[in-house]
Amino acid sequence: MNSIALVCGSFHKKEVEEMISHAESEAAECGLEITDVVWVPGSMEAPLATARLLENERIAGVACLGIIEKGQTSHGLAMGQAVIKSLVDLQIGYDKPVGLGIIGPGAEPEHIESRLEPHARAAIKAIQAMIE
């Protein structure tokens, strides 16, 4: 069984805890074992935590779970683009999959709840697909 890890943004902790539950369920269905869950303050810190996990030989992949809401400025969009690019670069650099389960950037509060499960499950499915 392949070991994977989760990097979780704590800014929306209640919602991300729900995402973890869905990710755990999906991992079990995919034959993956979540061995590490690392909480970070927000999505901006996800790339560093992901890099640290990808360095570990026993970790086959990492799923990043979080939410980047739409704000009153373009800060969230710029940050989200930087985070996603960094995660893609890490995936290529370490030759290990990184599942993107970050809702947004630009998520409106009324759209978050319906995306928690599909984003969490898709992040795990992406890891499974790339491991195989």
In CATH, which superfamily holds the domain spanning 12-131? Answer: Lumazine/riboflavin synthase (3.40.50.960)
Statement: residue 54 has pLDDT above 90? yes
Residues 118-127: tens digit of each pLDDT: 999 999 999 9
67 CB neighbour count, 10 Å cutoff: 24
Residues 68-111: tens digit of each pLDDT: 988 788 888 888 999 999 999 999 999 999 999 999 888 899 99
Angle between helices 13-30 and 109-131 (to 10 degrees): 30
Q: What is the pLDDT of residue 87?
A: 97
Q: How far is CA 13 from CA 9, 52, 65, 74, in A?
A: 7, 21, 10, 23
Residue 5: pLDDT band (50, 70, 90) is very high
Q: Is 75 a catalytic residue?
A: yes
Q: What is the pLDDT of residue 67?
A: 95
Write b or e for each residue in 7-38: b if 16 or more Cβ atoms lie within 10 A of its Cβ, otherwise e.
Answer: bbbeebeebbebbbebbbebbeebebebbbeb
Residue 30: pLDDT band (50, 70, 90) is very high
Q: What is the pLDDT of residue 74?
A: 83
Q: What is the pLDDT of residue 118?
A: 98
Q: What is the pLDDT of residue 95?
A: 98
Confirm if 55 and 47 have CB atoms less than 8 A apart: no
Q: What is the pLDDT of residue 75?
A: 80
Q: Which of 12, 22, 75, 119 is catalytic?
A: 75
The whole-number average pLDDT for the span 34-42 is 97
Q: Where are the domains of the chain?
A: 12-131
